[in-house]
Each structure stands twice: as structure tokens, then as C-alpha cells.
Amino acid sequence: MINSLGENNNFVQYCKPVFTSQTQNTVAAKTNEQTSPRETTNLIMQYLENQARNNVSSTYNVSTPIWTHAFGNCDNMKVLDSSGNLVQNVEFKKDGDKLTEEIFVKCVNGSTVNKTIVNDGNKKSMTLTFKNKKGEITGRENRTYEKLDKDNAISVHNGKTYKISGLSGDIITVEYNGQKKVIDLGKKIQPTLDTIENKPTNKQISQTQKEFLLNSVKKLSGDLILKFDEEIDQMVMLDTDEYEGFYRNDNGVRKFKLSQKVRDDMTFCHELGHAINRIDSEGDNENKVRISDNKDYAKTREIEMNNFRNRCKNDDIIKPMNKFIYDDFIKKGYMSYEEGQKDGQDEEFAEMTGFINCMDVDWINNRVTCMLQFMPYSTQIIYKKNQELF
């Protein structure tokens, strides 16, 4: 059967569910909804044209992730397509104190993503490269961070140098381009812990917990520290390790919450991504305004998600993608598919922001590589936005 994009496709077309007022019964939505020219972008048209020219369904038929132990809590992972070609690969290496993480993803549109992280004592570096299917570079990120002594560090992001001082105390200074920003991290620490239900407790934060929160910021690159200071009013310690962390706006107070089990800056940068994504003009959680509400981004995501739903039949790949697709929106407490997608868009924005900026060698959830493989166009939109923000 030839589908609407001109592809040979034997899969049943996915129909977006529409719910009654009781949210109990579903009916098939219109599969060919009309889009006004104002809402159609060149990017979406390019995507549709590329999909029509190239039958890429085979790259959706992928193997179960193959795990092999590396060291500590780090496992190598590879995923092959139906032809035996490598499409996802995460490989860890250890040479004394030097740890290296190599990440490779071949996306369904033929583009590739390569990321290398090296942690060597007080030095960290990261190189991230995006290439199109012709092998041409479409994006590149370079980061380095070096702890010079107990008080000072220096970081470089895409050629921009940031000097960080005061790391032995609560007040740090970031110097960039002839300007200095003094940040009192101590004043950002909430004195009591919060529950995961977003309620304060009477538990006072311990000195150890306070140091944990402070050090979570201090080990970041200078530009990330500045962005954190711009976006966050309070850092909060959770009284449970059930969740790693989350971002909340509590009556105009922007809170960044972490559990003590977080050891890598991927989680930190992911939650910071949520904060960046929120446009906190009104300061209330009921009427959220987010960068990820952009219609072009949402429509691109919808195309990619429908292609994934229709073609990928491997439950081991589908499961981690639920973080972004939100097909189980009723279980998550949403009244409609559209409502759930708003937060799905937010999760992809945060995950991509974390991936682009994190520099720690640590265990990686395979949801990251799945997202990159099957959602290349929407993740590129987020990457371009990150280039504007940092």
C-alpha cells in the first residue's frame, strides 16, 4: 500500500485519540487534518518531501539494545537495524583515572550524531557533532572545564572563556567578556526540604545536603552557571530519592529541586532545561507558557511520532520513547491527548538541552539515543534554540 507520503507501508496508520467529556470512549481522529499555510513551515515541508522521496521504514525495525558491562554503573549499549547496521551506540572506556564516553546515533533521516565526553581528574571536555546524511556538519558544540585549584576554575564554550572564582565558599564570581557576575549561592538554598508532592516539610537541610546542592552548581561551565542564576530563585533538597529532581514555579518563586542520588550533570541540565523552557511571566503553574509550545516544533514532533508509532514494533525501543510521546497520557493524569503533548514537548526540550550541555561521564538512559534516532528534526529545532540561549 502506498501511503499519503508516497511510501510503501504495510503498517496500520496511527489515529490520534479524541476523548469524550467523560474521557472514556475514543474515536478515530481525522487522519488528514488541514493545516493553514501560516502554520506550515519550510522545515515541515522539507521533512515531508524527504520522507516521500526516501522509504526509511527499515531503520525503524531495530534490535533490542545489546548491553555489555563497562565499569562501575556504566554499561555499553548498541542497537542494530534490520540489516545489521549500527544505529545507536554508547561506549565507555577507562584508562586509570581517565574516563571516556562515546555516543553515536544514526537517525532515521540519515543524519548522524556523535558525542565524546572525557573526564580526567580536574579536567572535563565534550565535543558534539551533528551531520546530515551527506556527511556535512550541521552543528558542533565544544566544551572544556578545568578546576585550577580549590577556589578557581576556567571553562570554555565554543571559544568563549569563563573564569570562575570563589569555589571554596558560597559566593562565586563568573568573569566573561570583561564583565563580572557575583552570585550568592548560599542565599538560593531553601532552609527546609520539600516532599515530591511539592510541599515544604519541617526538616532542616543538613550541611552535607547544602554542600551537595552548592557543588552541583559549582562544577558546571561558566555559561551554565550564569543561565542557572538567571532562571532559578531557590535550590531545594527533596526529602526522598524516589525522583531525581524537577522544576517548579511556586507562586512566582522558581524552584530547582534535586534528590541526593543525582551524581551527573545530565540530570541537572535536564531540569535546568525545564526552567529555561518556561516563560515565567505570570508566575503560576496553571497557565504555563513555554518555548516548546511553538507550533512549528509541535507539528514536526507529531509527524515524527506518527512515523515512529506506525513503523517501530520493538517494545524495548517503544518503552523509553514513552518519555516523549505520552501515549499513556491518561495514566499520567491528563484529560486529553493534546494536554499530554504539551508536557511531552517540554520533556523533549529538557532532555535535548541536557544532552547538548552535559559533560559528565556517567550511565546514560537509552531514551536519549532513541529520541535522537527517531526525532531528528524536532531535536534539531531544540539544538538551534540552545544556540541562541547559550
pLDDT (tens place) for every residue of the chain, 390 residues total: 333 333 333 333 334 433 333 333 333 333 344 444 444 456 665 665 555 445 455 689 999 999 999 998 899 999 999 999 999 999 999 999 999 999 999 999 999 999 999 999 999 999 999 999 999 999 999 999 999 999 999 999 999 999 999 999 999 999 999 999 999 999 999 999 998 777 778 899 999 999 999 999 999 999 999 999 999 999 999 997 777 888 988 888 999 999 888 878 999 999 999 999 998 755 455 567 899 999 999 999 999 999 999 999 999 999 999 989 887 777 778 888 888 889 899 999 999 999 999 999 987 789 999 999 999 999 999 999 999 988
Helices (H), the chain: 42-53, 207-218, 222-231, 265-277, 295-311, 315-325, 337-357, 366-374, 376-389
Instruction: Please give the pLDDT value at position 241.
Output: 77
- What residue has cell string 534554540? 385
| Residues 6+ away with beta carbon under 8 Å from 53 | 6
d(CA 247, CA 219) in angstroms, rounded, equals 20
Report residue 226 as a C-alpha cell: 550564569
| Residues 6+ away with beta carbon under 8 Å from 269 | 224, 353, 354, 357, 358
d(CA 363, CA 73) in angstroms, rounded, equals 6
Torsion 176-229-155-149 (CA) sign: positive
Instruction: Please give the pLDDT value at position 281.
Output: 54
**Three-state DSSP string of 258-302:** ECCCCCCHHHHHHHHHHHHHECCCCCCCCCCCEHHHCHHHHHHHH
Instruction: Please give the pLDDT value at position 27.
Output: 31
d(CA 213, CA 377) in angstroms, rounded, equals 35
d(CA 7, CA 57) in angstroms, rounded, equals 9
User: Is residue 288 within 8 Å of residue 282, measured between CB atoms?
Assistant: no
> Which amino acid does the sequence have at 43?
L
